[in-house]
Amino acid sequence: MQISWAWGAAMTHKIGKTLVKGGGISGIKASLDLAQAGYQVLLVEASDHLGGVTSQLDRQFPTAGCGMCRMLPLIDRDQASRHCLRRGLFHENIETCLSTDLVSVQGEPGDFTIALQQQTSQVNPALCIGCGQCEAVCPKEVPDPFNAGLTKRKAIYRPCPQSFSYAYAIDGNACNGCRACGEVCPTHAIQFVAQERETFHVLVVDDEKIVRDSMKEWLTEEGYQVHTAASGQKALDLMAENHFHMMLTDIKMPGMDGVELLTRAKALQPDIAVVMMTAYAAVESAVAAMKQGALEYVIKPFAPETVLALVDKRFGEFAAANARKETVDALILASGSDLFTPDQGINPYGYGRIPGVVTSLEFERMLSAAGPGRTQLVHPVTGRQIQRIAWFQCVGSRDLTYGSTFCSSVCCMISIKQSMLAKTLYPQVADACIFYMDMRTPGKDSELYADQARQAGVDFVRARVHSLAPDATDPVAGIHVRWADLSGKMSDSRFDLVVLAVGQNPDTMMQAFAKDHDIDTDAWGFVQSPPFDPADTSRPGIFACGTVTGPKDIHASVIQASAAAMSAMETMAAAGRRTLSADTAPSDFAMAVEQPRIMVAVCRCNGLLAKNLDMPEEPAPFCRFLAQDPEVVQVEMADRLCESAGRQMLGQKIEACHPNRLVVAACGPCMRMDKIRVLAELANLPVRCVAAVDVMACAEIRQDRESVKVPGHEPGRQAEPDVAEPKIQGIPRMYHMKARQAARFIQTGISRVKTMSLNKGTGEDVVCRALVVGGGIAGMTAALAIAGQGYAVDLVEKQAVLGGNLVWLHPGPGEGRTFLEQQKEAVLSHALIRVHTQTLAGGTTGRPGQWTTRLIPVPETKESLNRAGTDPFEKQAVKSIDKQAAGSSDKPVSGSSESFVRHGVVVLAVGGTQADPGIVTRNTGPGIYTQQGFQQILDNGKMDTQSPLQVAMIQCWGSREKDRNYCSRVCCPRALEQALFVKDLHPDTRVMVFFRDMMTPGVSEDLYTRARQAGIVFVSYEPGRAPVLDADDNGCRITWLDVILGKTMEMIVDYAVVATGVTPQLTPELAGSFGARLDRCHFFDQADIKWQPVEALQPRVLACGLCLAPGGLADCLATARAAAARAVAILSREQIRPGRDMARVKTALCSLCQVCIPACPYGARQIDSLTRTLVIDPLACQSCGICAAMCPSGAAVVDGLSAGHMLDIIHTTLSDVRQGDYYDPFTQA
């Protein structure tokens, strides 16, 4: 009864659907998170490829490689394609619309009506096989935007060099309409369908020929279909034959006048829009015509723009009516940002004028193997090797003259990465020099990376170059750079290349969209998020992530994308939407054990197969050769499998022979997951029983190798069918090498389906309960988000009260405090959240996903209650108590109230505290505070506000060096806030801030500007030369070496505030009990800093807040919601099913020697303590196969990559190399 009710409820609820605008990194991540949680996604991208600007960046820091594929789903991974994301993204739950604009959004959360407009494609993506013949014949060459204009491409082009998934596209602006491409296209994919404007018919009626002709010229140039008529009657005659969308008519005409024509035209075609053209004299009649239904009138003489604006407007309405309408529940805006173009304004660096001045994006393409220099780093004009490169920071950001007062956040790290790459990849690069104002390396890994760059020989020069001039001796290839260092000494140098680190600017299209849709933007034009909702916008149900909300790096974008996905899930849950339950696993176990009956279908590809592989149309010996395999029941030649007609033909053949495996040999695009899926449906087989082989690739491989001289072999020998050799064992000698190679390729496909995994299709059950360790704001936010999706949560907090650092950060009434109280109230009153305060989590047992964790009550001590908000200078004793508390977690306290919780995921949110300042002065005295202690003085109003004060703030105290070599991100903004607050108390108060680099990335740069304007003095110091504090009972003296002034200065201060940064509270024991680790700075070690930023290698272990990475409140909230999104994706599954290729243990053979456990780089293997067997976590295993190589007894295997299959592949690859095999490998004994 209960089951039928649940079924009924599920049927009545719609499946949640979210639209994601923008297919860059954030858009892809948000889509994948939603898709993994079982919601439907409509991914809309305005350009012709996914990946956004990241698709143009080949390598990212810190790995100097690309890890985009690490975003691919681990949960039900077979739902998605498992290849490089630059090649394309396919997921069952994601519908991707490329070259599509989101035109309008109406409605409210849970019921948005959206209109999508797709640019008309001249190339049919379903038919295009990407052979590139069209490109070869296209006569038109234009600068390639993908290579930032550094190379040329044809008017018909492949949108992204790595893609095999995307069809070619025609650049409408560049195409000259010669149609040469259409003639050579083997699949007739190029259709020259009318552009949208060509379908818009305009009728111009005027008795003056010159008016008719000029109007026709103007409108035709804009792409409209224009007809003309000299009189009213002729116009009506034309209207009888054609349908017109718009008519422009003169009023005064002999015979029938314009007003009468209007009446009669409206009678004929009521939806026609009519514009009256009139001279001054007839304005009254024009007004009368308006009353009769004319759209508008224009007074002669008029400028072309006047009429064009009217036609464009009407066309817009016409196009909107044709747009695709959809209903979605939520929207995520992720359409990215623009880059500053440095040739605007005064252009002091001569971008566009001096040949060697390039932007960072252009340099990124120069480093790429698909870029202009291929594998060489050469000057864009002279083509000479580049030896000396300079990077200029803050071009178009932190610049008040352009209105870009924010910091672009990413340029410093991009320049460091580029300099490292240039130095390491190209030995000829002798000099790499970065000119900067503040080297902004926020976050936990950036500082170390900058140090590595210094060690690699990259020069960091704190100077701003004012302008550039070509070098006097070598004006084309050389650039003369002159700068003043901090002491005022002038230097100059010659560089071959200057890279301008251009800033991210808000996208103007997005600004217009936001304005039209009541979405608030900030002063610069970025979409503004409310203070405590890191991915929300001012409009409910619409969320934003990535650089739409401000300049951001990949790491922050990916986190915010997950947070936005979480918000969208909440909206959909609130609207009562359900998730797609993953299709019940097909029972392919029976199919896997039964004798394979393989059918091979070879697609003729419209004759292209024969042409490219030099073999006949009906290659009977070829088919016979493939049919030699006893398990191959049939080899069929098919044609045009990309079209439904071709597939139907194949379907009939399949029905005739009932295979249980299918191998399709066709072109590259047929390997796309969506196409394989269609074929699998056709054959009524599980997807894993179908293999696709790209035989067209053989054509290319051969072309490269044909130059190899082989005795007796004549390259390019024409093929002839061999009918005179009936007892054929291999492919006849007459066949070209390409055909042989193709046959071998197909054999690997056959071997793949033969050795398909014996997967039972059942996974392990998910324990639908989450454990959140840490009751700070991050932990509470994560708990609320998970519980909001209907999953039970246990929240464990060591302290007696929830709130963590927010308790001391917001002690008094205010926005922050209200938010904290609201969250606390929500957590405590939530039915699905069990809160355990004064409790430690410890002693976890069980395997991943089936953990049982012991919750141990902490004995209540007086000090532990007071711990929050103590200043180390006031209470040195706290440390020892802290140690006692930490010790108690190792030895569980035996108590009756101890409990156990069984959970499937864990979110570590234990937070962080202010770092210990260590020994600050030789003498101790009053007046020296940490930031936290000073904040308490300010909050309690203990400060003397009557007289002006002297305040010194020292940043980076003990951080960004030695064992805490990371920037804590929070101290600089906090110091600025405190300085401004103090300055407000008394205007004559003098505040000095001593800094190494002011870390105010993004819009917090505004705070820095305000502090400067308020008269706060900033003094920079070098590492190792920090200001010295000297204190006694009389006061505190600060002494520093001022590099700019060139002398040692001193000041007596009332308050000296040291910013010590954040230190995480995560213990290795806690992380280790779930199989996670700490990184070198004692933060949570992420699986991947950029692409999997909140997960450990074991994806069920998540972290957020300060124990994950240092950051402000907004960062903590974003990570908390991102972690929750990942947790929900796991909990939403009833079962975690193993993927198609997955490591497996043959338990009977396994001797439990355990060599495979440490060998697994993903920590996927464990001994189940209950059953004493080796178990593999299907979420963590990446099927790398190391375990199979390590196992001494052959117990570790990887399904889908069996030894037999791998040997087949090796044989195929190497058979060319073996001399004896070269001719006819199949006839060898």
Partner 1 sequence: MIPSPKPEKPAPDPVLSARVAQIKDLVASCIQCGTCSASCPNLCFMDMTPRKMWRFLLCDRVEEVFSSDTFSMCSSCYVCTLRCPRGLPLTRAMAGLKQIGFHLHMARFRRAGLFYGAFMDNIAQYGRVREMEMMTRYFLALKDPLVPLGYAAMGVRLLAKNKLRPRLPSRGRGKLAHLFEPLDPQEQ
Per CB under 8 A, residues contacting partner 1 are 346, 348, 394, 398-401, 437, 463-467, 482-486, 488, 490, 950, 990, 1008-1009, 1012-1015, 1017-1018, 1020, 1030, 1032, 1034-1037, 1042, 1044-1046, 1052
Q: DSSP readout, 173-186?
A: TT-----HHHHH-T
Q: Read off the amino acid at residue 832.
A: L
In the complex, the smallest distance separating the C-beta of residue 353 from partner 1, rounded to whole angstroms, is 16
Residues contacting residue 548 through CB under 8 Å, at least 6 positions apart:
22, 26, 333, 334, 335, 336, 337, 507, 510, 526, 527
> In the structure encoding, which two tokens stand for residue 357, read together?
């001045």
Comparison of 268 and 1017: residue with beta carbon closer to partner 1: 1017
Comparison of 180 and 486: residue with beta carbon closer to partner 1: 486
Comparison of 1045 and 1203: residue with beta carbon closer to partner 1: 1045
In the complex, the smallest distance separating the C-beta of residue 1036 from partner 1, rounded to whole angstroms, is 8
In the complex, the smallest distance separating the C-beta of residue 1009 from partner 1, rounded to whole angstroms, is 6
Comparison of 464 and 733: residue with beta carbon closer to partner 1: 464
Which runs of consecutive H residues, i.e. helices, occur in 323-370?
Answer: 360-367
Which has the closest alpha carbon to 112: 575, 560, 537?
Answer: 575
Residues contacting residue 1092 through CB under 8 Å, at least 6 positions apart:
70, 71, 1086, 1099
Comparison of 991 and 1191: residue with beta carbon closer to partner 1: 991
For 361-386, b/e burial (b = at least 16 CB within 10 A) is bbbbbbbbeebbbeeebbbbeeeeeb
Instruction: Find out whether 28 and 80 touch, Cβ atoms under 8 Å.
Output: no
Strand partners, 1123: none
In the complex, the smallest distance separating the C-beta of residue 317 from partner 1, rounded to whole angstroms, is 44
In the complex, the smallest distance separating the C-beta of residue 501 from partner 1, rounded to whole angstroms, is 13
Residues contacting residue 528 through CB under 8 Å, at least 6 positions apart:
520, 521, 522, 537, 538, 549
Q: DSSP readout, 496-515?
A: SEEEEEEPEE--HHHHHHHH
Residues in the chain: 1229
In the complex, the smallest distance separating the C-beta of residue 925 from partner 1, rounded to whole angstroms, is 9
Whose tokens are 């054990």? That residue is 593
Comparison of 22 and 1002: residue with beta carbon closer to partner 1: 1002
> In the structure encoding, which two tokens stand for residue 1181, read together?
């295993």
Comparison of 472 and 490: residue with beta carbon closer to partner 1: 490
**SS3 per-residue string spanning 86-97:** CCCCCECCEEEE
- HSE-up of residue 1046 (Cα within 13 Å, Cβ side): 5
In the complex, the smallest distance separating the C-beta of residue 437 from partner 1, rounded to whole angstroms, is 5
In the complex, the smallest distance separating the C-beta of residue 998 from partner 1, rounded to whole angstroms, is 8
> In the structure encoding, which two tokens stand for residue 456, read together?
């690699």
In the complex, the smallest distance separating the C-beta of residue 1018 from partner 1, rounded to whole angstroms, is 7
Q: DSSP readout, 1176-1189?
A: E-TTT-----HHHH
In the complex, the smallest distance separating the C-beta of residue 1021 from partner 1, rounded to whole angstroms, is 13
Comparison of 499 and 1104: residue with beta carbon closer to partner 1: 499
Comparison of 893 and 1014: residue with beta carbon closer to partner 1: 1014
Comparison of 1047 and 1172: residue with beta carbon closer to partner 1: 1047
Integer Cα distance of 1140 and 758 in angstroms? 10
DSSP conformational letter for 14? P
Instruction: Find out whether 813 and 770 touch, Cβ atoms under 8 Å.
Output: no
Q: DSSP readout, 266-328?
A: HHH-TT-EEEEEE-GGGHHHHHHHHHTT--EEEESS--HHHHHHHHHHHHHHHHHHHSEEEEE
Integer Cα distance of 675 and 682 in angstroms? 11
Comparison of 63 and 923: residue with beta carbon closer to partner 1: 923
Comparison of 143 and 1015: residue with beta carbon closer to partner 1: 1015
In the complex, the smallest distance separating the C-beta of residue 1017 from partner 1, rounded to whole angstroms, is 6
In the complex, the smallest distance separating the C-beta of residue 473 from partner 1, rounded to whole angstroms, is 21
In the complex, the smallest distance separating the C-beta of residue 928 from partner 1, rounded to whole angstroms, is 13
In the complex, the smallest distance separating the C-beta of residue 977 from partner 1, rounded to whole angstroms, is 17
In the complex, the smallest distance separating the C-beta of residue 1114 from partner 1, rounded to whole angstroms, is 25
Instruction: Find out whether 299 and 278 touch, Cβ atoms under 8 Å.
Output: yes
Strand partners, 354: 351
Comparison of 500 and 599: residue with beta carbon closer to partner 1: 500
DSSP conformational letter for 123? B
Instruction: State in Å, rounded, how far the first CA of the chain is from the last one.
Output: 66
Chain centroid to CA 232 = 58
Comparison of 482 and 578: residue with beta carbon closer to partner 1: 482
In the complex, the smallest distance separating the C-beta of residue 948 from partner 1, rounded to whole angstroms, is 10
Chain centroid to CA 71 = 8
Comparison of 242 and 467: residue with beta carbon closer to partner 1: 467
Comparison of 140 and 462: residue with beta carbon closer to partner 1: 462
E strand segments, 156-232: 156-157, 169-170, 201-205, 225-229
In the complex, the smallest distance separating the C-beta of residue 1023 from partner 1, rounded to whole angstroms, is 18
Integer Cα distance of 459 and 453 in angstroms? 8
Q: DSSP readout, 830-888?
A: -TTEEEE-SEEEEEEESSTTSEEEEEEEPPP-HHHHH-TT--TTT-TTHHHHHHHHHHH
Degrees to nearest 5, angle at CA 51 with 45 and 56: 125
In the complex, the smallest distance separating the C-beta of residue 394 from partner 1, rounded to whole angstroms, is 7
Instruction: Find out whether 30 and 21 touch, Cβ atoms under 8 Å.
Output: no
Comparison of 1004 and 1183: residue with beta carbon closer to partner 1: 1004
Which has the closest alpha carbon to 882: 897, 872, 892?
Answer: 872
Integer Cα distance of 183 and 133 in angstroms? 10
Integer Cα distance of 1189 and 383 in angstroms? 47
Comparison of 263 and 1009: residue with beta carbon closer to partner 1: 1009
